[in-house]
């Protein structure tokens, strides 16, 4: 019974999708802002530049420049 209910819900979804793609996107945004908060905690006077992606070099430049 449960299997047939799942099959029906897939048929009603857009292009028979079974999942939503937003969670991985949200995880990436969370990491981006966590790095910004860490830089701001280390150097409160740091000028925040919103250039993605954050590479290790960009993070170090944000910490020490």
Q: What is the pLDDT of residue 42?
A: 93
Q: What is the pLDDT of residue 15?
A: 65
Q: What is the pLDDT of residue 63?
A: 85
Per-residue pLDDT reduced to its tens digit, 11-55 = 666 666 666 666 677 778 888 889 889 989 999 988 777 777 888
The pTM of the full predicted model, rounded to 2 decimals, is 0.56
Give the distance from CA 19 to its chain's centroid: 17
Q: What is the pLDDT of residue 41?
A: 94
Alpha-carbon separation of residue 31 from 1, 11, 36, 62 (angstroms): 41, 35, 9, 16
In which band, very low, low, confident or very high, does the pLDDT at 7 lie, cut at 50, 70 and 90?
A: low
């Amino acid at each position: 019974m449960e299997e047939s209910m799942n099959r029906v819900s897939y048929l009603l979804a857009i292009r028979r999708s079974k999942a939503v793609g937003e969670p991985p996107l949200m995880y990436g945004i969370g990491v981006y802002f966590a790095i910004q908060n860490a830089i701001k905690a280390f150097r409160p006077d740091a000028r925040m530049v919103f250039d993605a992606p954050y590479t290790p070099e960009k993070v170090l430049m944000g910490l020490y420049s």
